């Protein structure tokens, strides 16, 4: 963290709670976003992330807690006076106005004169790479252009924080991939704090400096992409971020931090670190790329080694994987299939040796989810 | 071949309807309006009936009054119906939306005559309002509120409400809530959001509602007759009296055509002023 005590975070939420009748949509959420960073809130639909964002924008008051922008509480500031702007899920560009009028709407509200407005509109259109489009109607723009106009319409207001509510959701896959990179570049160019909510882990991992994983109204973990991926704090994070093989298992033996577990399918493996698990029930996660194929190394180094049969080969370029069944058990697992040439001849029905390190198997007390 | 035939068969009812009930009577009326009776069974053709209209100040004044009052009634209906429609479309949720909409519809289950009579019960000298005012000590004697322009205007607006509310609710329902929120988010207040976002979006509904309400008011006969007094002449009353009372079908037909020209002109002017086209409003 580079933040010093003299510069307060751009956005800080303290213990935010939001109730709708008997349901608690947001449950004691606290976080802060340092200036100029890209912060994502990642969670499945219905986890409360949109409610949280609407509270930051000012469309809903929190039931409890405080929201601070640049160190000042904004709870009694109405949405039209908050130094926060929002890019809506469906962008909410005004169809009755031209591109320039859309961008100029906020500037007119600030009471800027015509020449000053035109200057700013031209500047921001240049900046997002759409110069000379000011006279276009909104329905003449492509999906990606609308996206950029919606961001420009907010950025021209020079907000302290820009909120983005799943703005890539409506785009097709190819454009979404492209816009991910572009959004990150725009954030760097404007040097503004972005708070981005999404249910798409790919978007969050690619763009964010830090990510909060949200589930059932709570933050499960806040961290960088690699932290969430390699060191998930909860079973939910392990299951939600990235692909995993997932088993319910019982602790068989304990030795120091680690021990061995036996999955419901009959697979017994050693684990480097076991949590305290009442009743000995755990959920174990193993990344497909942690599984080494064709390993014939000596036993006794603590690695889990099994012989397996290939059920199916799923070819998908760099994301190819194998579905295997471990011999003598009902345990199925997905293993990444490296496209380096060594395993090009693998076919369904082949026998193959698999192994993974005891530290690659991550276990959490079984929470029943 | 058969496709073309079935198309014509499908269009037949509407063609018959237009031809027999709209076009044929109008052609006949047009010819009637051009002739003047000079003797028993003797007619002369010319513009004498139209000339009579333009030379008689009472006709001209009633004509202008009807037009102005209809425009006024349309404007009043719009001002009252807009908040109602906005509430139904955007504020009310779930079942309330349907219930409120039904409330707007309920008055139309009874005949226009009964509805207008309802206003007479309220407004007449011995009516509800008059009695309440006397009981509250605000009036010394019975107050007559019927038979004036204000009473007539109330009746016209009341009769037209539904026809303004329905198109407004439809257009306002198609307004994405996030557009309104974006309007506030970018620094707008209630007034600017209304003027720059809600109102421009609602223009097609406003125009189509206004056209219907204006036509209904202009062609209304019952309300001006029952609620308006002797001083509140309506042009339709003049047409009625020419046809039925004076038995002067020729002048009545000319009046009918002038009313048609007037409503066409005002609707055209309103479309031009609001920058709308008939296709856009109806589509």
What are the tokens at B238? 């003049």
Is B204 in the A-facing interface, judged by CB distances under 8 Å? no
Q: What average pLDDT does chain A have?
A: 88
**Does B196 sit within 8 Å of A105, measured CB to CB?**
yes
Is A153 in the B-facing interface, judged by CB distances under 8 Å? yes
Which is nearest to A96 in space by CA: B202, B120, B260, B78? B202
What are the tokens at B129? 């309002």
Is B186 in the A-facing interface, judged by CB distances under 8 Å? yes
CATH of the domain at B72: 1.10.3720.10
Question: pLDDT digits over A24-68, tens only?
Answer: 999 999 999 999 899 999 999 889 999 999 999 999 999 999 999
- Averaged pLDDT for residues A326-341: 86
Please report which confidence band the pLDDT of residue A1 belongs to, taking 50, 70 and 90 as the band edges: very low
Nearest neighbour of A88 by CB, restricted to B182, B188, B200: B182
Number of other CB atoms surrounding residue B120 within 10 Å: 16
**Does B179 sit within 8 Å of A85, measured CB to CB?**
no
Tell me if B19 is assigned to some domain.
Answer: no
Nearest neighbour of A79 by CB, restricted to B184, B192, B200: B184
Which residues, numbered 85 to 104 in chain B, qualify as contacts with chain A under a Cβ-Cβ cut-off of 8 Å? none
Q: How many residues does chain B have?
A: 283
Classify residue A314 by its DSSP letter.
E
The pLDDT, as a whole number, for residue B35 is 86
> Which strands, in side-by-side order, build the sheet including A64-69?
A23-33, A11-20, A64-69, A72-73
Tell me if B241 is assigned to some domain.
Answer: yes
Q: Tell me how far apart the alpha carbons of residues B32 and B52 are, in angstroms, rounded to a whole number.
A: 15
Q: Tell me how far apart the alpha carbons of residues B149 and B70 are, in angstroms, rounded to a whole number.
A: 12
The pLDDT, as a whole number, for residue B214 is 93
Helix (H) or strand (E) holding A309: strand A304-314
Is B188 in the A-facing interface, judged by CB distances under 8 Å? yes
Question: pLDDT digits over B212-235, tens only?
Answer: 999 999 989 888 888 887 777 888
Tell me if B42 is assigned to some domain.
Answer: no
Q: What average pLDDT does chain B have?
A: 88
* Count of domains observed in chain B: 1
Task: Kindly list the residues from chain B whose CB atom is less than 8 angstroms away from the CB atom of residue A97.
Answer: 196
**Does B192 sit within 8 Å of A109, measured CB to CB?**
yes
Task: Kindly list the residues from chain B whose CB atom is less than 8 angstroms away from the CB atom of residue A85.
Answer: 185-186
**Does B185 sit within 8 Å of A85, measured CB to CB?**
yes
Which is nearest to A156 in space by CA: A85, A92, A98? A85
Pairing of strands A193-198, A38-42: parallel
Q: Does residue B151 register a pLDDT over 70?
A: yes
Question: pLDDT digits over B95-111, tens only?
Answer: 888 898 888 888 888 88
Tell me if B5 is assigned to some domain.
Answer: no
Tell me if B45 is assigned to some domain.
Answer: no
**Does A80 sit within 8 Å of B184, measured CB to CB?**
yes
* Domain range for B87: 50-282
Residue identified by tokens 């029930």 is A281
Q: Does residue A347 register a pLDDT over 90?
A: no
Which residues, numbered 146 to 185 in chain B, qualify as contacts with chain A under a Cβ-Cβ cut-off of 8 Å? 176, 178-179, 181-185
Q: How many residues does chain A have?
A: 369
Contact A196, A203 (CB under 8 A): yes
Cβ-proximal residues to A290 (8 Å cutoff; 6+ apart), any chain? A356, A357, A360
A280: left (phi over 0), alpha (psi -120 to 50) or beta: left
Main-chain phi, psi angles of A275, to 5 degrees: -80, 165
* Secondary structure of residue B175 in the 3-state scheme: coil
Between A302 and A183, where is the model more confident? A183
Q: Does residue A300 register a pLDDT over 70?
A: no
Please report which confidence band the pLDDT of residue A367 belongs to, taking 50, 70 and 90 as the band edges: low
Contact A55, A220 (CB under 8 A): no
Helix (H) or strand (E) holding B168: helix B149-173
Question: pLDDT digits over B113-142, tens only?
Answer: 888 888 888 888 888 888 888 888 888 888
Of the candidate ranges A156-160, A362-366, B74-78, the one whose mean pLDDT is the lowest: A362-366
The pLDDT, as a whole number, for residue A266 is 86
Please report which confidence band the pLDDT of residue A224 belongs to, taking 50, 70 and 90 as the band edges: very high
Q: Which domains does chain A have, with CATH numbers?
A: 11-236 (3.40.50.300), 244-365 (2.40.50.100)
Q: Tell me how far apart the alpha carbons of residues B194 and B184 are, in angstroms, rounded to a whole number.
A: 10
Contact A41, A212 (CB under 8 A): yes
Q: Tell me how far apart the alpha carbons of residues A31 and B111 are, in angstroms, rounded to a whole number.
A: 64
Nearest CA in chain B to A79: B185
Nearest neighbour of B178 by CB, restricted to A80, A92, A157: A92
Nearest CA in chain A to B185: A80
Question: pLDDT digits over A96-143, tens only?
Answer: 899 999 999 999 999 888 999 999 999 999 888 888 888 999 999 988
> Up-side HSE of residue A273: CA atoms within 13 Å toward CB?
6
């Amino acid at each position: 963290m580079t933040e010093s005590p003299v510069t307060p975070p751009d956005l800080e939420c303290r213990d935010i709670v939001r109730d709708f009748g008997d349901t608690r949509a947001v449950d004691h959420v606290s976080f802060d976003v340092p200036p100029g960073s890209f912060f994502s809130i990642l969670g499945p639909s219905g986890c409360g992330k949109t409610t949280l964002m609407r509270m930051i924008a000012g469309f809903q008051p929190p039931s409890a807690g405080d929201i601070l922008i640049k160190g000042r509480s904004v709870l009694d500031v109405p949405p039209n006076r908050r130094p926060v702007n929002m890019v809506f899920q469906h962008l909410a560009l005004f169809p009755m106005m031209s591109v320039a009028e859309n961008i100029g709407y906020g500037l007119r509200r600030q009471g800027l004169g015509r020449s000053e407005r035109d200057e700013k509109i031209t500047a921001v259109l240049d900046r997002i790479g759409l110069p000379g489009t000011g006279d276009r109607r909104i329905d003449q723009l492509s999906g990606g252009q609308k996206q950029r106009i919606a961001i420009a319409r907010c950025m021209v207001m020079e907000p302290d924080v820009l909120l983005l509510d799943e703005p890539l959701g409506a785009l097709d896959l190819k454009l979404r991939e492209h816009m991910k990179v572009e959004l990150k570049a725009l954030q760097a160019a404007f040097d503004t704090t972005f708070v981005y909510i999404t249910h798409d882990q790919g978007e969050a991992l690619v763009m964010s400096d830090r990510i909060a994983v949200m589930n059932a109204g709570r933050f499960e973990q806040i961290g960088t992409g690699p932290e969430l991926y390699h060191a998930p704090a909860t079973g939910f994070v392990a299951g939600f971020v990235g692909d995993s093989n997932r088993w319910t298992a019982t602790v068989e033996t304990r030795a120091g931090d680690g021990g061995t577990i036996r999955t419901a399918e009959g697979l017994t493996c050693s684990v480097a670190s076991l949590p305290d698990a009442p009743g000995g029930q755990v959920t174990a996660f193993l990344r497909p790329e942690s599984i080494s194929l064709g390993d014939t190394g000596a036993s006794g180094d603590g690695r889990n080694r099994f012989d397996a049969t290939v059920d199916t080969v799923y070819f998908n370029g760099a994301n190819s994987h194998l579905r295997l069944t471990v011999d003598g058990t009902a345990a199925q697992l997905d293993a990444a299939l490296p496209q380096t040439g060594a395993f090009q001849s693998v076919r369904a029905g082949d026998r193959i040796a698999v192994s993974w390190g005891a530290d690659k198997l991550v276990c959490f007390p079984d929470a029943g989810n | 071949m058969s496709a073309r035939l079935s198309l014509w068969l499908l269009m037949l009812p509407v063609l018959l309807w237009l031809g027999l009930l709209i076009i044929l009577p109008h052609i006949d009326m047009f010819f009637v309006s051009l002739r003047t009776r000079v003797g028993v069974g003797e007619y002369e053709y010319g513009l004498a009936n139209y000339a009579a209209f333009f030379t008689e100040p009472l006709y001209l004044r009633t004509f202008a009054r009807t037009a102005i009052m209809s425009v006024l009634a349309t404007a009043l209906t719009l001002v009252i119906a807009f908040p109602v429609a906005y509430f139904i479309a955007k504020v009310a949720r779930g079942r309330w939306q349907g219930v409120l909409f039904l409330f707007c519809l309920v008055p139309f289950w009874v005949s226009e005559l009964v509805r207008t009579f309802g206003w007479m019960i309220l407004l007449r000298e011995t009516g509800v309002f008059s009695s309440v005012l006397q009981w509250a000590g605000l009036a010394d004697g019975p107050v007559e509120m019927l038979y004036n322009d204000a009473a007539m205007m109330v009746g016209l607006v009341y009769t037209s409400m539904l026809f303004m509310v329905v198109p407004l609710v439809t257009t306002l329902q198609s307004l994405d809530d996030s557009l309104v929120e974006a309007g506030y988010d970018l620094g707008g207040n209630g007034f600017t959001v209304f003027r720059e976002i809600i109102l421009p979006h609602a223009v097609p509904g406003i125009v189509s509602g206004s056209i219907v309400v204006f036509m209904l008011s202009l062609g209304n006969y019952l309300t001006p007759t029952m609620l308006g007094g002797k001083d509140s002449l309506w042009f339709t009353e003049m047409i009625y009296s020419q046809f039925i009372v004076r038995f002067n079908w020729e002048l009545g037909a000319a009046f009918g055509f002038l009313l048609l020209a007037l409503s066409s002109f005002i609707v055209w002017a309103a479309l031009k002023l609001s920058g709308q086209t008939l296709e856009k409003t109806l589509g």
